Amino acid sequence: MRFKAAIIIVILVLTQVFLDSCCKINTVFDIDGFGLVNLDNSGGTPTEVGDTAKINKNAYGIRIYLKTKTLASQDLFKNVQFVGKTYAACTQDFTLKNKIKSIKITNVFWFDDNTPANSDITNYFNGLADEYGPYISVDDKIKELNSSLNKLPEYFDIYLMKAPEQLFVSSFKVRIELYDDSYAEIATDYVTLF
């Protein structure tokens, strides 16, 4: 009888250790803002460049930094405790509360004869499906970001796929709208595309 009781206690302790080591943490977060940096993609990896940079028009990109804040985090097994928690195989799920509805890119200055200042040129830009490609539209990049089960990346890059015909100094405005209809719009630093 004592042997059966000891076996049952050992099984309960091992079950608790297993449950604790297979915990799941749900984190809810939201987008709290964003920032922009001009990119020079003419080398092996995209390089951030400062104000008044000169970039080859076929290698221009914009890095969009996403600022996020955690709204809630819940340990699904935090109230179950027989022994100390080990979290050997913890998984973490992230939920974006307010997803990205749209990203709109406009040129501050004249781009070409068909694209005067303040034109929507979002379709001139593409992002990467992952770090190494293939290129996807900005709308597809939004879908990818919104459907991710991981936390949003710190930043993502978009690249100008239709270069202007002439040398020009420009800045681009990026407007990100969320599903709750809130939005932010900021402009890149001035850049010379040659």
Cα 46 from Cα 31, distance rounded (Å): 24
Q: Give the phi and the psi of residue 3 in degrees, each rounded to 5.
A: -65, -45
For residue 186, tell me if it sits in a domain.
yes
85 in a structural domain: no
pLDDT of residue 43: 87
Least confident stretch, 27-36, 74-83, 151-160, 176-185: 74-83
Domain count, the chain: 1
> The CATH number of the domain where 135 resides is what?
2.60.40
Does residue 147 fall inside a structural domain? yes
Task: Say what the pLDDT of residue 53 is.
Answer: 85
pLDDT-based confidence at residue 142 (cuts at 50, 70, 90): very high
Average pLDDT value for residue range 56-72: 88
- Token pair 């302790």 in the structure block, residue: 13
> What is the full DSSP assignment across 58-127?
GGEEEEEEEEEEEEEEEETTTT--SS----TT-EEEEEESS-EEEEEEEESS--BTTB-TT-B-GGGEEE
In a domain, 16, yes or no: no
For residues 138 and 172, the answer to whether their CB atoms sit within 8 Å is no
21 class by beta-carbon count within 10 Å (0-12 exposed, 13-18 middle, 19+ buried): middle
Domain assignment of residue 5, yes or no = no
The backbone torsions φ and ψ at residue 161, rounded to the nearest 5 degrees and listed phi first, read -100, -15
Residues of the domain holding 140: 32-71+98-193
Contact 96, 29 (CB under 8 A): yes
Give, for 170, the enclosing helix (H) or strand (E). strand 168-170
Looking at the domain assignment, is residue 142 inside a domain? yes
- Has residue 153 got a pLDDT over 70? yes
pTM: 0.76
Q: Does residue 176 lie within any of the structural domains? A: yes
Nearest to 41 by CA among 50, 33, 49: 49
Q: With cut-offs at 50, 70 and 90, classify the pLDDT of residue 82.
A: very low
Reported as a pLDDT band with limits 50, 70 and 90, residue 125 is very high
| Average pLDDT for 49-58 | 88
What is the band of 9 on the pLDDT scale with cuts at 50, 70, 90?
confident
The whole-number average pLDDT for the span 86-90 is: 52
Residue 79 has pLDDT above 60, yes or no: no
**More confidently predicted of 122 and 69:** 122
Domain presence at residue 15: no
- The answer, yes or no, to whether residue 87 has pLDDT greater than 50, is no
Q: Backbone phi, then psi, for 2, in 5-degree steps?
A: -65, -35
